[in-house]
Amino acid sequence: MSGIPRGRRTDELVKLVIDRWPDHAGYLAKSFQGRDPAVTAVSDELAGIVLTLGAHMEGGVGRLIDDYRFLCEEIVLPEQLHFRRYRRYRLSSFEDAERECYANAAFMDRYMNGLLVSDVVWSNHAHAFTAYVNEYLPRLPKGGRHLEIGPGHGVFLYFAARDPNLGRVAGWDISPTSIANTRAALTALGVDRPVELKLANLFQVAADEAPGGFDGIVMSEILEHLEDPVAAMRAASRHLAPGGLLWINVPANSPAPDHIYLVDGIDHARALVAEAGLEIVDSRAFPMSGATLEEAVQRKLTVSCVVLGRKAPEPGLLNQEARILEVSEHGA
């Protein structure tokens, strides 16, 4: 794996992974091959965060790496075999996922730990994370209000919390374990600004509780866990200010024990966001490690689909923008 510039902290994490799982070295070489400097820089910073969080855990970083291997071999691989055979996810209801996964706290801890490492070492996860850091967060206005729905391991929320441009940072989750893990991660990473963490079901938060309360909302790897992702995005958009942004990261053809809604590609992801009533601002598709986008589409391999939607501005603001454009083009 020599000759691939990854950064000091990434090199340290990769070495620790290979020390505990030598057979994974070939996969890692493919995953880091060809990453551009922007992705490498964000991944290296994230690797440092993984190492810091691991140091605060019982069992240390080794526990994270063992849980990452557990994710690959015991969680994802059996679901991939089912998907290759039947071209559908094994489960189709949230109730089934709740019973098999979410109600099992020990399983979910290992699952989330493994995903934390994957955000560095899986190419599609690393690229999607970089898009969040370098493309979504800078779009928010000065003093902007940011909400993440389902913060999971808390690292996405950490990058928002450390952004001096943002005035309000919040996270909602239906899982007390997730809220606790997010709070612990923010504490371990030294976040000292207020971050609002709320145990909340998106579908049950009244629209008038935080009407237009956020300039940006993130739903990263959430939609595939839901039976009706369009309804979830509509519910989220109630809490967006006019002109506010909804950043979606949803994997296509990505079997996992709690994935129930199958997205089959970036066009499908874009269509879901449009169906939710949002204007498509931008979209990106990042294939899994070792595959080009064309290969991933043809073979139905995992692709991380990132879509940025925007809530319509208020009618008066639209008229004002149109007038500004007219003046700029033709003079007052």
Domain membership of residue 228 (yes or no) is: yes
Token pair for 233: 């995005």
Domain membership of residue 48 (yes or no) is: yes
Q: Classify 133 as helix, strand or coil.
A: helix
pLDDT at 328: 47
Residues 175 and 271 occupy one common structural domain: yes
Domain membership of residue 279 (yes or no) is: yes
Q: What is the DSSP string of 224-247?
A: GG-S-HHHHHHHHHTTEEEEEEEE
pLDDT surpassing 60 at residue 311: yes
pLDDT at 331: 54
Structural domains counted in the chain: 2
End position of a domain, from candidates 91, 121, 151: 121
Average pLDDT value for residue range 239-263: 97
Average pLDDT value for residue range 284-299: 97
**CA neighbor of 307 nearest in space, from 256, 262, 246, 241:** 246
The model's confidence at residue 37, banded by pLDDT at 50, 70 and 90, is very high
Residues 145 and 286 occupy one common structural domain: yes
Residues 117 and 215 occupy one common structural domain: no
Q: What percent of the chain has pLDDT over 90?
A: 84
| Residues of the domain holding 209 | 141-317
Give backbone dihedrals phi and psi of 284, rounded to 5 degrees, phi first. Answer: -140, 150
pLDDT surpassing 60 at residue 323: no
Residues 34 and 81 occupy one common structural domain: yes
Residues 58 and 155 occupy one common structural domain: no
Instruction: Report how far residue 150's alpha carbon sits from residue 6's, in angstroms, rounded to the nearest whole number.
Output: 29
pLDDT surpassing 60 at residue 78: yes
Instruction: Give the tens place of pLDDT for each residue, 123-139.
Output: 999 999 999 999 999 99
CA dihedral (211, 219, 39, 179) in degrees, to 10, reads 90
pLDDT at 205: 81
**Mean pLDDT score of the chain, rounded to an integer?**
92
Residues 163 and 307 occupy one common structural domain: yes
| pTM to 2 decimal places | 0.92
